[in-house]
Amino acid sequence: MSGVLQVFNPYDRGLFTTLEAVDEAEAFAALDRAYALYRDRSRHIRPHERIAILERAAGLMRERREELIHEAVMEGGKPWADSVVEVDRAINGFAVAVQELATGHGEEVPMTSTPAAAGRLAMTMREPRGVVMAISAFNHPVNLLVHQVVPAFAAGCPALVKPASATPVSCRNVVRLLHEAGVPEEWVQFLPCSGAVAEKLVADERVAFLSFIGSARVGWMLRSRLAPGATCALEHGGAAPVIVDATADLDAHVPALVKGGFYHAGQVCVSVQRIYAHASIAGELARKMATAAERLVVGNPLDPRTEVGPLINPAEVERVEAWVNEAREAGAQVLCGGERFSDTCYKPTVLFNPSDDVQVSQQEVFGPVVCVYSYTDRDEAIARANALPYAFQASVIAQDIDAALYAVRRLDAMAVMVNDHTAFRVDWMPFGGYRRSGMGVGGIAHSMREMSVEKLMVIKSPSL
């Protein structure tokens, strides 16, 4: 073992627990086991057996739901009410994987269009791509693991799992439940190792697929280390834009925008961050959002009444504070918040018309800060929304369907929500970003397809 990994409660910074870390030799021994398993077809688990195991695992998660929620809150700091939603989503994720595993299939490739193809029957079939290396993030410690590891096992791929250093307990819990449900230990291996060890694993030619959720800096670096032939799915952050048309019903949509901006203290890759509102309503929208944000309950995430909990560590509070102060000094109006709640929490903050050049306008805040900007020309607003090198999810708020569709067609995003916040997601929809926001497509069924290869079989027969 390479040492002890300490896990701290983000709210009070008390030591929650410790775990033994895995050193380089142990990590590569795990890769040896995973690759040998992948190459030995006699040890592969049949699809109907995988389905039964996944259904048992979902049942075990239901039985231990309260424990999973409690430990996720203790190490990740997401408020209890939101962690309930996360764990319930994770449980449902097993059903999504089972459905894809039960109904996913190849297809017949037509061989009738030319004389050269005559007398042949061609069809595709799915096979596992190989060993999956899954590197996860702290902000959804249960559900992200389900989105990375369950698709790998369902697709027939052995998986190595490196948790975020801040939230390894939830990862360990999910892996243990899979083993208890019948997943052999070699199929899903928990590796709480250092980033340096993970980087070496990623570069090994035996790793066929990298599933990474985290910062763009690390994700693109790891992609550059992949061996020839390996593929990846990278999920980074964004600075999600919202276009609010003059026809928008503000009272109807402010609650969703507030939820999308301050959910998990803004530590969400598609959190509402930049709202471009028509000048005729921008001031009113900003004030309504500030009034709603001031009512949010900030505090201990174990309290079911808490709506905004801590940031993952005090350094993040200091960073968010510095970014808000920079925007204030450059002329932004601070309509609410703008200061710490404590050493670990930052007050929900609404900024009106910050400069386009300050960091809250240029970078992903990943904190409880929402910016509202005024515009008069919708093309200019869309151009400002598209100006950053991120493209993940966006939204448009409008009663006028033509105005909504105009923005949908022109916003740079992998998904655009109409009359909803940018952080909407269900686990069977495609999910991902492009430009610096990532590559590949998430969503459980989509991940299963990316972790598979389509093999073509062509049968030649005089009977055809």
| Rg of the chain in Å (alpha carbons) | 24
What is the count of structural domains for the chain? 2
User: In this structure, are 211 and 301 located in the same domain?
Assistant: no
The upper half-sphere exposure of residue 201, i.e. CA atoms within 13 Å in the direction of its Cβ, equals 34
Range of the domain at 86: 3-236+437-459
pLDDT at 2: 64
Whether 151 is in a domain gets the answer yes
Whether 333 is in a domain gets the answer yes
Write down the pTM of the prediction: 0.94
- Contacts of residue 287, defined as CB under 8 A and 6 or more positions apart, other chains included, come to 335
pLDDT at 3: 86
Whether 109 is in a domain gets the answer yes
User: In this structure, are 246 and 230 located in the same domain?
Assistant: no
The CA distance from 406 to 391, in Å, is 18
User: In this structure, are 54 and 127 located in the same domain?
Assistant: yes
Pairing of strands 3-8, 15-21: antiparallel
- Provide the CATH number for the domain around residue 58: 3.40.605.10
User: In this structure, are 52 and 93 located in the same domain?
Assistant: yes
User: In this structure, are 316 and 270 located in the same domain?
Assistant: yes
Residue 201's identity, in one-letter code, is L
Give me the tens of pLDDT residue by residue for the chain, a chain 464 residues long: 568 999 999 999 999 999 999 999 999 999 999 999 999 999 999 999 999 999 999 999 999 999 999 999 999 999 999 999 999 999 999 999 999 999 999 999 999 889 999 999 999 999 999 999 999 999 999 999 999 999 999 999 999 999 999 999 999 999 999 999 999 999 999 999 999 999 999 999 999 999 999 999 999 999 999 999 999 999 999 999 999 999 999 999 999 999 999 999 999 999 999 999 999 999 999 999 999 999 999 999 999 999 999 999 999 999 999 999 999 999 999 999 999 999 999 999 999 999 999 999 999 999 999 999 999 999 999 999 999 999 999 999 999 999 999 999 999 999 999 999 999 999 999 999 989 999 999 999 999 999 999 999 999 999 98
User: In this structure, are 281 and 229 located in the same domain?
Assistant: no
Residue of 157, 171, 232, 269 with catalytic role? 269
User: In this structure, are 407 and 445 located in the same domain?
Assistant: no
Tokens of 386: 């598209």
- Provide the CATH number for the domain around residue 248: 3.40.309.10
Residue located via tokens 């670096």: 221
Whether 432 is in a domain gets the answer no
Residue of 71, 75, 235, 450 with catalytic role? 235
Residues in the chain, how many? 464
Whether 430 is in a domain gets the answer no
**157 an active-site residue?**
no
User: In this structure, are 403 and 271 located in the same domain?
Assistant: yes
Whether 367 is in a domain gets the answer yes
Whether 101 is in a domain gets the answer yes
**186 an active-site residue?**
no
Q: Is 42 exposed, middle or buried (0-12, 13-18, 19+ CB in 10 A)?
A: exposed
User: In this structure, are 231 and 246 located in the same domain?
Assistant: no
User: In this structure, are 228 and 267 located in the same domain?
Assistant: no
Whether 62 is in a domain gets the answer yes
Largest CA distance in the chain: 80
